[in-house]
Amino acid sequence: MKVEDVVCPFCGCLCDDLVVEVEGTRVVSVENGCTLANEKFLGDNRLTSPIRRAGGAWQQVSYEEAIEETAAILLDADRPLLYGWSGTHGEAQSIGVHLGELLGALIDNTSTVCHGPSIMAIQEVGHPGCTLGQVKNRADVVVYWGTNPIDAHPRHMSRYTTFADGFFLTDAFLERKVIVVDVRKSESANIADEFVKIEPGGDYAVLAALRAIVRGKRSLIPSFVSGVSREQLFRVADTLLGAKFGAIFFGLGLTMSRGRYKNVRNAIELTAELNRHTKWTISPMRGHWNVYGSNEVFTWISGYPYAVDFARGIAFYNPGETTSVDVLRRGECDACLVVASDPGAHFPRACAEHLARIPTVQIDPHVNATTHLARLQIPVAVTGIDAEGTAYRMDGVPIRTRKLFTGRYPSDTDVLMKIYDRVKEEKGHG
């Protein structure tokens, strides 16, 4: 059976034009997908049943036992951390936040090690963004700053920018100018019209220089700013000012390097400066599938987008204090529920060591690095393949993903609802 208009469950692009062929409970082919989509749909490395670590060995347990034990671990903890959430659908994220509130837990999503600093910058100065459809149809200048879409978002350029014809750009490849700014000459830099190579940690200074030029202060610019020549800065600024509609996309090159959220703030303020002259927008390249959705769901329930601490009985948010890496580094949490992410692979070693010390439970379809650190893992269906639900694209557009077949795994929502009900019963609210 061929299913059309399938939504990809890998990156924040949420490409919704895939054609997937299914035989029984197996995906056998994928059309229109990138390499990442093909691997996601055709991958077969599912954990087959819940597992529990007993001493130095692993044993299979039933879903009922695993759910009961998870609820007991969370109820027994003084400072539980509920982490992850980006690889699942909004309905499951919503149960997670309610579970966090019921437990007085700290709940955080993967933006904490991704675009968390972008959110901090947006909270300071706002977000002049737009949908990807606007970019596709209107943008004649596109800037990729600290991001390498060819590897991380492989169809971004072909669906929305460099190679995508739009309403006002009928020959996009020739009419659109693409500028890549990075510390290394990435694959994306190779196909850009202009590549700006910055010294590591120099983004803030280069953004500040561009802001000065846009404000008419060219005489203040020294011969080189963080490795970029004055001549190139003038040329880039002229291109930005000459755009009819410009779009900046930025990545972890800004959020993870020196300056963090101040880099992003400066990029947003450059966008604001440019809007005194022409039309510009700026958007983060959200990486982990429904991470944008986790920010939305957390915010509409708690008021905060990530790193939400319910320990005081109310929602409290303070990045640097209530963020997962800091809480794990301080050895503060005494239990962890990991849902739809892999902190064992993607957190610094000191955090992985603490996850191994405390009872860590993982709800995830696959065996990953966190599996080795966990006490318990509960396999679930993959949203967008054998579970359905709502996810948000990187530009904030919610898209309903579909279930391609009914498999033997429960969804994240099924498992989390049972854990929530069990905790609620024990807390006396049943």
Partner 1 sequence: MSFILNTGRTIRQGSYVERKNTPAYREEASTLYMHEVDMLDREIESGDHVRVESTQGAVVMRVLPAAWLSRGEVFVCLGPYANHLVGAETHCTGMPDFKDTPVNITPTDAPLVSVADLMEQCGGVRYEG
State the number of binding residues for partner 1 (CB under 8 A).
74
| Residue 178 to residue 121: CA distance in whole angstroms | 25
Token pair of 266 as six digits: 């400066």
Site for partner 1 in 220-259 (CB under 8 A): 252-253, 255-258
| Residue 397 to residue 391: CA distance in whole angstroms | 8
The values of phi and psi at residue 316, to 5°, are -130, 140
Site for partner 1 in 107-166 (CB under 8 A): 112-113, 116-117, 120, 148, 150-152, 154
Site for partner 1 in 360-379 (CB under 8 A): 365-369, 371-374
Does residue 93 bind partner 1 (CB under 8 A)? no
Secondary element (H or E) of residue 238 = helix 230-241
Q: How far is the CB of 328 from partner 1 (least distance, A)?
A: 7
Does residue 320 bind partner 1 (CB under 8 A)? yes
Site for partner 1 in 165-194 (CB under 8 A): 183-186, 189
Does residue 338 bind partner 1 (CB under 8 A)? no
Nearer to partner 1, 53 or 79 (CB): 53
Q: For residues 111 and 87, is the Cβ–Cβ distance under 8 A? A: no
Kindly indicate which of the ranges 208-216, 230-238, 355-363, 387-395 contains the residues binding partner 1, using the contact rule CB under 8 A.
355-363
Task: Select the residue interacting with partner 1 from 260, 265, 393, 422 (CB under 8 A).
Answer: 260
Token pair of 400 as six digits: 């309903």
Residues with Cβ within 8 Å of residue 170, at least 6 apart in sequence:
none
Site for partner 1 in 376-415 (CB under 8 A): none
Token pair of 425 as six digits: 């019963």
Q: In what order do the strands lie in the sheet with 279-284?
A: 194-197, 177-182, 141-145, 245-250, 279-284
| Residue 87 to residue 9: CA distance in whole angstroms | 8
Nearer to partner 1, 375 or 422 (CB): 375
Task: Select the residue interacting with partner 1 from 24, 45, 313, 428 (CB under 8 A).
Answer: 45
Residue 30: Cβ within 10 Å count: 19
Site for partner 1 in 47-66 (CB under 8 A): 51, 53, 56-58
Token pair of 47 as six digits: 């954990």
| Residue 204 to residue 226: CA distance in whole angstroms | 9
Q: How far is the CB of 258 from partner 1 (least distance, A)?
A: 6
Task: Select the residue interacting with partner 1 from 30, 95, 210, 351 (CB under 8 A).
Answer: 351
Nearer to partner 1, 264 or 417 (CB): 264
